[in-house]
Amino acid sequence: MAAGDRPLNEVKFLTVAEVASVMRVSKMTVYRLVHSGHLPAIRVGRSFRVPEQAVHEYLRESFVGVATA
């Protein structure tokens, strides 16, 4: 179920720092993903909040399988 399909009171939002920690990347990488549109986010004042489910979906879609020979 996508974040857009759930009532907002059930959506868990993560800060950029939390997303960076989950993805094991820098905060700047998260900002780039948000600004490029690859990772949806909402703006709260000067900060961004990313739906937790969107992070999981992004990682699932970005997974690179290893071919076995």
Model pLDDT for residues 9-45, shown as the tens digit of each residue: 788 999 999 999 999 999 999 999 999 999 999 999 9
**CA proximity to 14, closest of 50, 59, 66:** 50
Q: What is the pTM assigned to this prediction? A: 0.79
Architecture of domain 7-61: Orthogonal Bundle (1.10)
Burial classification of residue 69, based on how many CB atoms lie within 10 Å of its CB (0-12 exposed, 13-18 middle, 19 or more buried): exposed
**Chain-centre distance for alpha carbon 27:** 12
The pLDDT, as a whole number, for residue 1 is 45
**SS3 of residue 28 by DSSP:** helix
Q: Is the pLDDT of residue 3 over 70?
A: no
